[in-house]
A and B are shown apart, each in its own frame.
Chain A
């Protein structure tokens, strides 16, 4: 199990490093169209062939990985912080505040977030740069992704509040703020870490789904979601197995995240 986890971590590290060095490794700019060789097969010039517009797929996978792999953890961090604050406060203070916050959480979970994302996307200024738009997309995913984690954190915090060390701290005259920040939050760390790791593949897949709907990262910037779009057409995929590179990478990465998460969960 430990070896598997190590292998998963090594794989994630290699993928992350390759994406960070995309500017050096990539044989061509991600948006340059080789119009004389669109939909080209694998070759020494184009390791994973070219897409429908003649853009080098290997370069696009590298840059797309950078976008998805850097911003998904950022979105996961936002949602975990929100979950810690909202769920922690609800569990710690209990009573009416817990009811209000958990009602808000339920409401958020019931919201049709896809339509909200579509609406926000439609309201964005039209000349928003692709890089800004991708940050907004992941930011929104982070802002909308906290409710499930908040419920788990709330339950854990409610349990912790009954524990001896909290009672001791309170008996010693520890202020509520200090108690929350210095006693409760550090003890929520294992569950928060697990929630953080769980969220990363969820956000990667969420962006991929938005990309398939044409609402994710704006062209010509690549992302895994955008790269998966070309697998939608039966005609384009047939007889071109190298087109599956992006989906294989996505599955491998998400699997590695899950292997790492299982260990985290076991530790927590």
Chain B
């Protein structure tokens, strides 16, 4: 009866707002105000959403097939050296304000991206080596971008390069994407309107997008967002937590979408920094591969997936999620929960179980702390589960939640911590995006950053393989190198990977053509093809 009531309420409220705003306004929420509307300077999720919806790109990564597709470029060619890409541009296109689109706009965009004064994060991803990135315009529809060194996966990087106009008086507010920003009420909402000059048409010749406008409400509270969705005030939720997803699935299964495993991962790592203020015996534990493997084997990842994420996660295997169809090493399997194996690994290092306490060779009881950010319930719960799991092998784990600045201070400056539980948000399919994590000299090589030379043989091998694949143009060779890196990480476990979460979302039944996927943006990746039920479906 309660379920019926819920459906009736949903049906009534889904219809109610339409009477006021009409059928063609799509509504959903951003969790924060976008820091910038300039596509060059995007550095946060909300700004990225605006860039994705409004920005026109030369090449778009199809979130469904994970393959690059020409958008503003009808074709592209990468030279043999792998350091230049030539685009053939779609003719007769115009920006949202009517300014014509030509090769000079591409050149202008690249120039702005690479301007060192602008510190563009998107520009940073295009910087392979110090030196100038040059653009050569052959004619208004042909342009070549040349980099100082080969860039692997070059075409995929252009997915984030939204072209801005060199001529338009509206500057970066003139766009080539399906929508443009018509109104921005800071802290309240953004109104995006259909770009009248958008170039794409459906198979019947009708100009896209189907929906006239998009209202993005700024809503930090995820519970309120869910309430608004169930009331029909918003049409979709791009990312849901497992509890909210379960609630929605139980009451309105047609609205809840599980797109399967996403690219993000949750992991724990030990501090292996030689200069850290930890006692020597603890440093010895953390540097021992047997100790790390033992901890890994003692963690019940299946339970974490089932209990913390309600089954909407799967045990993680390596630095690359199984969602990454191109780069994930299919041969690898998650580390199994095996307490006996954990104890055997510990015995190899001279640890022994006395009563219910594990002691090392020197007789020290094995006890360490794990830090994580306060307020993140999933991580707090994972840590609590690991706490109970490790008790089975006599290890005492102390859980410490810290506010985020304090946590960052410890893991990046003072190095005064023993282990850390955090997640990596991964937007990129190409493993090159993880260079800053895997090179031993990198800042984000969390377990032992900024090494002058690799501390271990396996880190030296990872360095070699990552550098080799970064300059290799042969895709097969790159895959072989990345597979080997995954194998080393699986064996050595500098990061003990825990789970890869699923991409959970909610879409109103009134929205058509929504096919949520694991890659961001999960629901509105095909925003120009979304339509309301009263409008014709896109022909398949």
Binding site for B on A (CB under 8 A): 31-33, 35, 38, 52-54, 118, 121-122, 126-130, 213-215, 218-220, 229, 233-236, 238
B403 near A127 (CB under 8 angstroms)? no
B375 near A214 (CB under 8 angstroms)? yes
A127 near B368 (CB under 8 angstroms)? yes
From B169-177, B190-198, B243-251, B313-321, the one touching the partner chain is B243-251
In angstroms, Cα B446 to Cα A5, docked, is: 59
In the complex, whether B295 has a CB less than 8 A from a CB of chain A is no
Near A by CB (< 8 A), chain B positions 221-265 give 223, 226-227, 241, 243-244, 246-247
B369 near A126 (CB under 8 angstroms)? yes
In angstroms, Cα B400 to Cα A215, docked, is: 9
Looking at the complex, which one of B368, B381, B388 makes contact with A52 (CB distance below 8 Å)?
B381
Contacts of B307 on A, CB cut-off 8 Å? 33, 35, 38, 52-54
Contacts of A130 on B, CB cut-off 8 Å? 398
Q: Mark B345-379, 1 if CB is under 8 A from A, else 0.
A: 00000000000000000000001110100110100
In angstroms, Cα B457 to Cα A121, docked, is: 39
- The SS class assigned to the B binding surface is helix
B368 near A53 (CB under 8 angstroms)? no
In angstroms, Cα B381 to Cα A122, docked, is: 20
B369 near A238 (CB under 8 angstroms)? no
**Least Cβ–Cβ distance between A238 and chain B, in angstroms:** 6
Nearest B residue to A125 by beta-carbon distance? B369
A53 near B399 (CB under 8 angstroms)? no
In angstroms, Cα B385 to Cα A126, docked, is: 19
Other A-B contacts than A128-B400, A219-B401, 8 sampled, CB-CB below 8 A, are A52-B377, A53-B307, A53-B384, A54-B307, A118-B403, A130-B398, A218-B400, A234-B244
In the complex, whether B266 has a CB less than 8 A from a CB of chain A is no
In the complex, whether B418 has a CB less than 8 A from a CB of chain A is yes
In the complex, whether B461 has a CB less than 8 A from a CB of chain A is no
Contacts of B375 on A, CB cut-off 8 Å? 213-214
In angstroms, Cα B244 to Cα A130, docked, is: 31
Q: Mark B376-418, 1 if CB is under 8 A from A, else 0.
A: 0100110111011000000000111111001000000000111
In the complex, whether B487 has a CB less than 8 A from a CB of chain A is no
Contacts of A127 on B, CB cut-off 8 Å? 367-369, 398, 418
A220 near B384 (CB under 8 angstroms)? yes
Looking at the complex, which one of A54, A126, A235 makes contact with B246 (CB distance below 8 Å)?
A235
In angstroms, Cα B228 to Cα A23, docked, is: 44
A235 near B241 (CB under 8 angstroms)? yes
**Least Cβ–Cβ distance between B518 and chain A, in angstroms:** 22
Looking at the complex, which one of A118, A219, A236 makes contact with B243 (CB distance below 8 Å)?
A236
B223 near A234 (CB under 8 angstroms)? yes
**Least Cβ–Cβ distance between B276 and chain A, in angstroms:** 12
B399 near A219 (CB under 8 angstroms)? yes
B388 near A31 (CB under 8 angstroms)? yes
Looking at the complex, which one of A38, A128, A218, A235 makes contact with B247 (CB distance below 8 Å)?
A235
29 pairs, CB–CB < 8 Å, chain A vs chain B: A33-B385, A52-B307, A52-B308, A52-B381, A53-B381, A122-B403, A122-B406, A126-B371, A126-B417, A127-B418, A129-B398, A213-B374, A213-B375, A214-B375, A214-B401, A218-B398, A219-B384, A219-B387, A219-B399, A229-B377, A233-B243, A233-B244, A234-B226, A234-B227, A234-B244, A235-B223, A235-B246, A235-B247, A238-B247
Nearest A residue to B388 by beta-carbon distance? A33
Nearest B residue to A229 by beta-carbon distance? B377
Nearest A residue to B250 by beta-carbon distance? A239
A219 near B403 (CB under 8 angstroms)? no
